[in-house]
Amino acid sequence: MREISGCGHIGIFDQSGKLYDGELVMRAIAAMHERGNGLGGGFAVYGCYPEYRDYYAFHLIFDDEHVRKEAESFLEEKFFIEYAEPIPVEQSKRLYTEKSSGINPEEERPEIVPPLLWRYFAKTQKSDSEKHISDDDYVVSMVMHINEKIDGAYVISSGKNMGVFKGVGYAEDLAEFFKIADYRGYAWVGHTRFPTNTPGWWGGAHPFTLLDWAVTHNGEISSYGINKRHLEMFGYKCTLMTDTEVMTYILDLLIRRHKLPIEIALKAVAPPFWKNIDRMPDEERELIKALRMVYGSLMVNGPFAIIFAWSRGMVGINDRIKLRPMVAGVKGERVFISSEESAIREICPEPDRVWNPRAGQPVIAELKEEPEYAVSRK
């Protein structure tokens, strides 16, 4: 069964590379409490592991110790692991989910038991026959392997100097559970979820990631079936049956593997209408026409607002007819992308500018300076 959900999300990006802690994103996501139902929340942070910035930071979840052993022996075979530890959590924090709109909510709140949460800082360890594969491609195939072949293990994030913390529960509770306020980063993404069925699985929360890509998503991809089938031709395995996973892979294919500039890749994801393309100047028309011809199966159709981030930037974009909310704001070098203006105002009461981006028009924030690398973990 493919899961579908509504949600709220917020992205904060500091274009000067200045680090700030997770309290902002916590407050912003708490302001959008009504957009979640306690069945999932999560955060991505960039710049949080400066001391391991040259290592792939793997965040994994395991069902039990047995699976952890199995996955670790695979990781040890494929990677040189510099450091491994359980992800620190606030043990006293209890996570709940809202079971229904219940008359007696206190009784109706089942407690959530977290899975095993671990992180590994590692470099690739390729065999002779794998030497020709780029590090990133190598990591992608290993992530695919773990997610697909090792039952009960799942890679939450796999980029450098970034991490994703996500799970089942209300986003603001998860923020306390993961001690989000203790991390510092130049870019943050937060997400709260309202799934319409109850998978109750930690891997199913947002953000979804691959390498340093992190994607959060509010919407339902009506073109899911064909997006998935097209991606499969390029070796992606859509194991999670979620829309957001597909979005992550599409961006990876277009931007990392096909090397399209981000603004061009976004034109493939949410292309202009033919009636507008037909009126464009020759060069632009030929380009957009070619994008639609070649990448028609990757057009993401249906209501969505997505925020995706990578180590050097963050983008927010809506579907072609803006069927989900997305608001953007700017204050100095700091860019905000959110489901609601209230979340932006909560953490930045007087932004320089707040606007509603038009359908299919991306908001792009990129690093103008190198990020500040102070030790971020207190």
Partner 1 sequence: MPFPGNKSLIQPKFRQVINKELCRRCKRCILSCGFGALKFENGVVGIAEKCVACHRCVNVCPEGAITIQFSELSYRPHSYWRPDIIEELYCQAETGGVVLASMGNEREFRSYFDHIVIDACQVTNPSIDPLREPMELRTFIGRKPDKIEVEKTHDNHYKLKTKLPRNVVLDTPIIFGGMSLGSISLQAQKALAMAAQRCGILMNSGEGGLHKELHPYAEHIIVQCASGRFGVNREYLERSAMIEIKIGQGAKPGIGGHLPGEKVTAPISETRMIPIGTDALSPAPHHDIYSIEDLRQLIFSLKEATRYEKPVCVKISAVHNVAAIASGITRAGADAIYIDGFRGGTGAAPKTVRDNVGIPIELALAAVDDQLRREGIRNQVSLIAAGGIRTAGDMIKAIGLGADAVAICTAALIALGCHMCQQCHTGNCSWGIATQRPELTRRLDPEWGAERLVNLVNAWSYELKEVLGLLGVNAVESFRGNRERLRGVGLNEVELRILGIKHAGE
Cβ closer to partner 1: 5 or 338? 5
Q: How far is the CB of 43 from partner 1 (least distance, A)?
A: 24
Nearer to partner 1, 119 or 206 (CB): 206
Q: Please, what is the minimum distance in Å from the beta carbon of residue 228 to partner 1?
A: 8
To partner 1, the closest distance from the beta carbon of 220 in angstroms equals: 4
Residues at the contact surface with partner 1, assessed by CB under 8 A: 2, 4-6, 196, 219-220, 222-226, 228-230, 232-234, 257-261, 263-264, 273-275, 283-284, 286-287, 290-297, 299, 301-303, 320-321, 323
Q: Does the annotation count 7 as an active-site position?
A: yes
Q: Which residue in the list 7, 48, 238, 348 is annotated as catalytic?
A: 7
| Closer residue to partner 1 (CB): 249 or 295 | 295
Query: 113 or 293: whose CB is closer to partner 1?
Result: 293
- CA distance to 222, 301, 316, per residue, from 271 (Å): 15, 10, 15
Strand pairing class (334-338; 213-219): unpaired
Cα 116 versus chain centre, distance: 20
Strand 56-62 with 153-157, pairing: antiparallel
Do residues 50 and 376 lie in contact, with contact meaning Cβ atoms separated by under 8 Å? yes
For residue 67, how far is the Cα from the chain centroid?
A: 25
Q: Which two tokens stand for residue 209?
A: 């990631």
Q: Which residues contact 329 (CB under 8 A, 6 or more apart)?
A: 335, 336, 338, 341, 344, 348, 351, 352, 353, 354, 355
Nearest approach, Cβ of 234 to partner 1 (angstroms)? 7
**What are the catalytic residues?**
7
